Structure 1
Amino acid sequence: MTPFGNKLKAHRKARNLILGDLADKISVSVSFLSQVETGTKRIPDGMVDRIADVLQLNEQERSDILAAAAISQPKVEIKLAVNAAEFDRKLASTFANSFARLSDGEKKALFEVLKDK
């Protein structure tokens, strides 16, 4: 299960909701919600906010589940402005294509540079 699935399940159970109850409240099938919770389906845009609203999550819980959803997605997009400079496009492309070959040390160094931006 993904970090998002773990948080979702914990919040759902804390509110005594079974999967079907929550699925009905956010207008998705039980099967689909189960697949999202277990990480076999991608979390659709807007779903986390709908879940947070239905579960009446406080500000910290909402922030935590949004962060968990972000790191649980199988793909990450680098969003560039339509008029992004050629260098920015080249940098994003190089980063995406090179990521799997970076060592753990290089990834940690990049994280330190970027974490507070």
Structure 2
Amino acid sequence: MTPFGEKLRELREARGITLKTLAADFGVSAAYLSALEHGHRGKPPWRFVQHTIAYFNIIWDEADELNRLAQLSAPRVIVDTSGLSSRATELANRLAREVKGLEPEDLAAMLAILEERKTKRKTG
């Protein structure tokens, strides 16, 4: 599942909207929406994200968050470590190989480290 797909399912289910109804309202197939929710489709197009924001009447910070989630929803990622240290290359390769076996708390801890670094860069 992708971050955007998870949020889309959450929005749809919270409002009691079926996959079939949402697909008809969006003018896409239910198979496409299902694939998007389950992470079998890549990052959604910008227009789709904007349509989702309008459809669910999402405003301000929540709309920004949905856009952010869409940008982070490519299920196949390429990490270019050329020009970086050997440790950066090792990290990218090990993460690619081992991400499937990580526990939710491990993922949360790694994401927290990245968020902390992002905050430090903004304030520093």
Report how far residue 17 of structure 1 moved. 0.7
Give the number of aligned pairs. Answer: 96
- Which residue of the partner structure matches residue 91 of structure 2? 103
Separation of aligned partners in 2, 1:58 and 1:7: 15
CA RMSD of aligned residues (A): 3.2
Give structure 1 regions of 4+ aligned residues with deviation exceeding 4 angstroms. Answer: 111-115
Matched, 1:17 2:17: yes
Alignment gaps of 5+ in structure 2: 93-113
Inter-CA distance 31–115: structure 2 relative to 1 (3 Å threshold):
farther
- Residue pairs, 1:1-117, within 5 angstroms: 1-42=1-42, 43-74=44-75, 96-98=80-82, 101=89, 103=91, 112=118, 116=122
Structure 1 residues 115 and 45: CA distance shift in structure 2, 3 A: farther
Q: Distance in 2 between matches of 1:115 and 1:36?
A: 32
* TM-score of the two chains, using structure 1 as the length reference: 0.64
Task: Indicate the residue corresponding to 1:80 in structure 2.
Answer: none
The alpha-carbon deviation at position 112 of structure 1 amounts to: 4.5
CA gap 1:112/1:60 in 2 versus in 1, 3 angstroms:
closer
Query: Counterpart amino acid of 1:96?
Result: D
Please report how far the alpha carbon of residue 58 of structure 1 lies from its aligned counterpart in structure 2 after TM superposition: 2.2
Identity %: 30
Gaps of 5+ in 1: 78-94
TM-superposed deviation, 1:69? 1.1
Bigger share in helix: 2
- Residue 59 of structure 1, CA deviation: 1.8
